[in-house]
Structures are given as structure tokens and as C-alpha cells.
Structure 1
Amino acid sequence: MKIDVLTLFPEMFEGVFSSSILGKARDKGIVSLGTVNFRDYSTNKHNTVDDYPYGGGGGMVLKPEPIFGAVEDLPPHLTEEGEPVKPRVILLCPQGETFTQKKAEELSGEEHLVFICGHYEGYDERIRQHLVTDELSVGDYVLTGGEIPAMVIIDSVVRLLPGVLGNEMSAVTDSFSTGLLEYPHYTRPAKFRDWEVPEMLLSGHHANVKKWRLKESLIRTLERRPDLLEGRVLSKEEKLWVAEWKKQQQEKEINS
């Protein structure tokens, strides 16, 4: 996979791209990570990339020329047959689709991703209309620019690529990958102070452990993110677990 980031602050990505999972993925040749300062594509002598909005109003708007110029000047990513790959051009903005694990899985199947990190009041609308393929947001809050959201999305996507994680099952069982939050984890020692690891995890019975983990994932999701269960078709056993949990909650309320 080839990933290019258009940003006014390429130095922000130096540590992120060279550390941890992203750094290892790049060292292995699984992903190519690069940044472009789109100020280099300014078309005026002052090297400005923004201007006042037509119609008045506060803030500044990113001009289309530097963004279009930077994207169109990117070296193409070629297939094994030498054909250029059409990139997914992703605009980071609060108006975009909320980024999810499902979207990360979708993007992990692409060969070339381009991220546009904006600043100021917003983008010239022609960038949205004629250049980008996706608009993504990482949540309903305001950040200074698109750099941190780009880092979040890139990390989430790259870790799904084959060969990136040491244990390929790690990404499969992560929270949200199954539609549920992840089950609790424990490691040595089996007893720490007065807190013991659940006996089921020490039993060595893989089928029962798998069942325990599914139940714990379901209950944890009920407690913390019940919205994730909307539309989910529960098995007969899962329905019993939910009913049992709800009964316990009612008893707690009565006793409190």
C-alpha cells in the first residue's frame, strides 16, 4: 500500500511514521508512507494557501490550486503490470462520514490512499466536488487541523494489512471487528493481591474459553455500548445471556 499525506506540517508525522507498528510496517516494505507540504504548490509569490471566503464571514478558506496541484503531482502507485492505481483521496473534515472499524477494513483493501489535512475555516467546495473520493471525520469535536485524524485513520488501516501484526488474529478479535467490544484479558500471575484470574481461562478447555469470551464481549457491549447491538441477530444462547444480565441488573437496582 502507498499512503501520501498532504499537510502544512509534515514534521508532525516524522515520529508517527517511524515508530511502533507503522515504523515496522514501513521497514518491512508493506506500506510506503510519505508527506507533501502543499504550500509548495502555492501559485502566488507570498506562498499563501488560503484566502477570505466569498460572501464574507469569519475565518480563511483553503484555496483549490495548491491542493489540486499537490495531488496531481503525486507519483502514481503502479500495479504489478505497471498500470497506475487510481487513489482514494480522503478529505479530513467534521462534515465527513464518521470513521469506523468497518471503514478501516474497507480502506485496507486499497492500494493507494491520499489524505488531505486542512486547517482554517474549511475547504474551497471545488475540492470536495471534483477531487476527493471520501470525506471522513473521527468524531463530533473540533481539532486544529486534519493531521491527528489522519494519523488515527492511517494507524487503524495499516495494522490490518497482512504481515503487519505479529499475531494475525489480533486484528480479527479487536473491539469493533466482530461488532462487539473485546472481552477482558488476563496474564500472569494468576493471583495478584486478592484478585484472581477467572478459573475458566485456566482450564485449558478451548471451546469453553471461546464461549466465555463471547459471553463477556456481549455483556461488556451491553454495559458500555448498547448501540452496537442494534440490528444484531442474537443466537438462542446469546439471548439467554442477555436475559440473565438484565435480571441481575434489576436485582442490583432493587437491592440498592
Structure 2
Amino acid sequence: MRIDIITCLPKLLEGPFSDSILKRAQEKKLVEIHVHDLRAYSTHKQRSIDDYAYGGGAGMVLQIEPIAAAIEDLKSKRTYDEVIYMSPDGEQFTQTLANQLALKGNLLILCGHYKGVDERVRQHYITKEISIGDYVISGGELAAAVVTDAIVRLLPGVLSDETSALTDSYQDGLLAPPVYSRPAEFKGLKVPDVLLSGHAANIEKWRFEQAVKRTEERRPDLLKKE
């Protein structure tokens, strides 16, 4: 897989992609992540990429010209399965969507900033818009990092335990059950006996029941989707 990200703040993405799972995935050549500076496509001497909105109003707007130039340049070199715009009013990002995107080959992500991008970009260049939640952050960079992380960890070979990602919360429409580790008792706090029993069927039954219980308590809306 290859993921290209267009941003006006490339340094903001250096940290998330240079450590932990994402770093190891790139070192193992299971994914390529390339960050492109939108200002490199500006035709202005000051490398400006934004301007005032037509009709007035607060805030600046990312202009269509540098964005179009960046997207067209990247698309001239490879075919993208999706050109994604990170937007507060996009499709809600879910585990199901992460699973779908993990099956793609090439993804291009555009990070919004300021009051957003010129609407013509969304109409003519973007194939999918994604939101990570019903709130607004300063730009699309952190949202793009969240989406990238969620996708990459699903790729075969990225996690040392191949089944780990398949047992995460939301994969089966439920929250994950409680987990425990050594010691079996700490200051009177004990691990449930069933987990120490070695009885696989009983353990799986307990985990499923606990997942349902936790989902009912914390995210009953997930059960209503069934």
C-alpha cells in the first residue's frame, strides 16, 4: 500500500509516522507513506496557498490552484483508489471503513485547513470525504494521521500477532471485553477465575458475554445498528 498526504503543515505529521507501528510498517516495506508540502505547488513568491472567501466572512480558504496542481501531479505518476478529503462534514470514520480502505492499493489524502478548501476541489477532485468525529480541530493533519494509523495496522504483517487487529473493538460490532495480565492477584484484586481455567470454550463464552455487557453499558447505539 502507498498513502500520499497533501498538507500545508508537513512537520505536523513527522511524529506520528516516525515511531511505533507506523515506523515499523514502513521499515518492513509493508506501506509507503509520503507527505507532500502544498506550498511547493504555489505559484506565489511568498508560497501563499490561501485567500479571503468570496462574499466575505471570517477565515481564509485554501485555494484551488495549488491543490489542483498537487493532485494532478501525483495522479500523473500513479492511479489512486480514493482521493480523500479530511472534513468535519465527511462520512463518519468507522472500523468498517478502515477495513475497506485497508484493501486498497493507493490512497491520496488532502488535509483541510483554515475555513476549508475551495468547494470546486471537493466537487471535481475528491472521491471520498471522511470525518473522525463531530468536532472541529485546527486542520486535517491529525485526522489524516488517525485514519492512516487505523488502516495500516490492519495490513498483513504489520502487527506481530496477526489476530490482534481482528479482535479489536468494533470489528464485530461490539466493544472489546476486559483484559487482564500478571499478577493474578494485586492488593486483593483478582483476575476472573474463568481466565485462569485454561478452558478455551468457557473463556470465549465469558469474553463474548462481557463484550455484550460493556457495549450495552457504554455504547448501546452499536447494538441498535444490528
- TM tier, smaller: over 0.9
Contact kept in structure 1, 2:88 and 2:133, CA below 8 Å: yes
Deviation of the 1:120 alpha carbon: 0.9
Deviation of the 1:76 alpha carbon: 6.2
Q: For the residues of structure 2 that align with 1:58 and 1:143, how far apart are their CA atoms?
A: 17
In the alignment, which residue of structure 2 is the partner of 1:22? 22
In the alignment, which residue of structure 2 is the partner of 1:99? 93
Deviation of the 1:122 alpha carbon: 1.4
In the alignment, which residue of structure 1 is the partner of 2:49? 49
Deviation of the 1:43 alpha carbon: 2.3
In the alignment, which residue of structure 1 is the partner of 2:115? 121
Contact kept in structure 2, 1:3 and 1:113, CA below 8 Å: yes
Pick one of 129, 136, 142 that aligns with 1:135.
129
Pick one of 206, 210, 218 that aligns with 1:216.
210
Q: For the residues of structure 1 that align with 2:127 and 2:102, how far apart are their CA atoms?
A: 15
SS at structure 2 position matched to 1:57: coil
In the alignment, which residue of structure 2 is the partner of 1:230? 224
Contact kept in structure 1, 2:80 and 2:107, CA below 8 Å: no
TM-score, with length taken from structure 2: 0.97
Q: CA RMSD in A?
A: 1.2
Query: How big is each residue's C-alpha offset from its partner over 1:190-224, in whole Å with a ceiling of 9 and x where there is no partner?
Result: 11111000000011010110000000000000000
Contact kept in structure 1, 2:62 and 2:116, CA below 8 Å: yes
Structure number with greater Rg is 1
- One-letter amino acid of the structure 2 residue matched with residue 87 of structure 1: D
Query: How big is each residue's C-alpha offset from its partner over 1:168-201, in whole Å with a ceiling of 9 and x where there is no partner?
Result: 1111110001100000001111111110000000
Contact kept in structure 2, 1:85 and 1:111, CA below 8 Å: no
Q: For the residues of structure 2 that align with 1:169 and 1:148, how far apart are their CA atoms?
A: 27
Contact kept in structure 2, 1:175 and 1:181, CA below 8 Å: yes
Q: Report which structure shows greater RCO (CA 8 Å, sep ≥6).
A: 2
Q: For the residues of structure 1 that align with 2:18 and 2:53, how far apart are their CA atoms?
A: 38
Q: For the residues of structure 2 that align with 1:231 and 1:137, how far apart are their CA atoms?
A: 20
Q: For the residues of structure 2 that align with 1:154 and 1:139, how far apart are their CA atoms?
A: 15
In the alignment, which residue of structure 2 is the partner of 1:72? 72
In the alignment, which residue of structure 1 is the partner of 2:195? 201
Percent identity (aligned): 52
In the alignment, which residue of structure 2 is the partner of 1:33? 33
In the alignment, which residue of structure 2 is the partner of 1:160? 154
Of residues 8-17 and 194-203 in structure 1, the stretch that sits farther from structure 2 once superposed is: 8-17
SS at structure 2 position matched to 1:3: strand
Aligned length: 226
Q: For the residues of structure 2 that align with 1:76 and 1:220, how far apart are their CA atoms?
A: 48
Of residues 52-61 and 217-226 in structure 1, the stretch that sits farther from structure 2 once superposed is: 52-61
In the alignment, which residue of structure 2 is the partner of 1:236? none
SS at structure 2 position matched to 1:123: coil
Matched, 1:146 2:105: no
Q: For the residues of structure 1 that align with 2:136 and 2:79, how far apart are their CA atoms?
A: 33
Unaligned runs of 5+ in 1: 78-83, 233-256
Q: For the residues of structure 2 that align with 1:177 and 1:64, how far apart are their CA atoms?
A: 38
Q: For the residues of structure 2 that align with 1:157 and 1:220, how far apart are their CA atoms?
A: 25
Q: For the residues of structure 2 that align with 1:151 and 1:16, how far apart are their CA atoms?
A: 7
Q: For the residues of structure 1 that align with 2:37 and 2:211, how far apart are their CA atoms?
A: 43
- One-letter amino acid of the structure 1 residue matched with residue 26 of structure 2: R
Query: How big is each residue's C-alpha offset from its partner over 1:88-130, in whole Å with a ceiling of 9 and x where there is no partner?
Result: 1110111101111111001001111111111111111111000
Contact kept in structure 2, 1:6 and 1:115, CA below 8 Å: yes
Q: For the residues of structure 2 that align with 1:167 and 1:226, how far apart are their CA atoms?
A: 29
Q: If each structure's helix is expressed as a fraction of its own residues, which one has the higher value?
A: 1
In the alignment, which residue of structure 1 is the partner of 2:103? 109
Unaligned runs of 5+ in 2: none
Contact kept in structure 1, 2:80 and 2:108, CA below 8 Å: no
